[in-house]
């Protein structure tokens, strides 16, 4: 059963928050927090996936789809896959643009930590097909089918299951809330 932990606003910042008119929510349930978190996740489409191999981190911006709090990345290749063969622990972030000077409290984003599984079309056809179906990809107004994928590539899907997500979005009332699986 997931739980949430909400950091209190530091005492020296409380007067500034009040002066700017921010109304920070005090979440009483996991479900109410997840509702706000999912709204943020659905309105974005790029995450920065961090993988490591031999203590060398690699951050890759990738498109994603989410079903609830499970994230799917569709790709043909890249260094992230050799990293994931060695270490399936990942981190990622999702953020929206903001200008600090214009609106200091306009920052919004999440950081997540978890495990990734990789399914290739050729080596894991059943798991790949299930993940592909879960992604529900639409291209040009048509739902993309596995049978329509080019046979020239060994398409892969990374399925990321977060253990922890930390989300902040002060303008929408979210201040440093952690979701823990």
What would the pLDDT profile of 40-72 be if each residue is shown by its tens digit? 999 999 999 999 998 899 999 999 999 999 999
Mean pLDDT in residue range 83-110? 95
Percent of the chain with pLDDT strictly greater than 70: 100
- Count CB neighbours of 179 within 10 A: 22
Q: What predicted TM-score, i.e. pTM, was given to this entire model?
A: 0.93
Domains and CATH numbers, the chain: 3-180 (2.30.110.10)
pLDDT value of position 62: 97
Whether pLDDT at 148 is above 90? no
Q: What is the mean pLDDT of the chain?
A: 94
Kindly report the backbone phi and psi dihedral angles of residue 39, in degrees, each rounded to the nearest multiple of 5, phi listed first: -60, -45
Token couple for 80 = 């992230």
Question: Pairing between strand 56-63 and 65-67?
Answer: unpaired
Whether pLDDT at 154 is above 90? no
**In which element (H, E) is residue 64 found?**
none
Contact 177, 26 (CB under 8 A): no
Kindly report the backbone phi and psi dihedral angles of residue 145, in degrees, each rounded to the nearest multiple of 5, phi listed first: -110, 150
* Residue closest to 166 by CA, chosen among 120, 128, 111: 111
pLDDT value of position 145: 85
Mean pLDDT in residue range 148-158? 88
Tell me how far apart the alpha carbons of residues 89 and 91 are, in angstroms, rounded to a whole number. Answer: 7
């Amino acid at each position: 059963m997931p739980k949430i932990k909400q950091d209190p606003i530091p005492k020296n910042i409380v007067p500034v928050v009040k002066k700017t008119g921010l109304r920070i929510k005090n979440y009483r349930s996991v479900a109410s927090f997840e509702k706000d978190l999912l709204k943020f996740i659905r309105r974005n489409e790029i995450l920065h996936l961090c993988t490591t191999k031999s203590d060398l981190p690699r951050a890759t911006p990738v498109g994603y789809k989410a079903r609830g709090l499970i994230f799917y990345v569709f790709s043909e290749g890249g260094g992230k896959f050799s990293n994931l063969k060695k270490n399936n622990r990942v981190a990622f972030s999702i953020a929206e643009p903001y200008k600090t000077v214009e609106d200091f409290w306009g920052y919004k984003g999440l950081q997540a930590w978890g495990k990734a599984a990789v399914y290739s079309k050729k080596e894991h056809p059943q798991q790949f097909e299930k993940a592909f179906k879960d992604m529900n990809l639409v291209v040009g107004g048509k739902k993309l089918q596995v049978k329509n994928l080019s046979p020239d590539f060994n398409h892969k899907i990374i399925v990321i299951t977060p253990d922890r997500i930390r989300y902040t979005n002060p303008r929408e009332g979210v201040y440093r809330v952690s979701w823990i699986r």
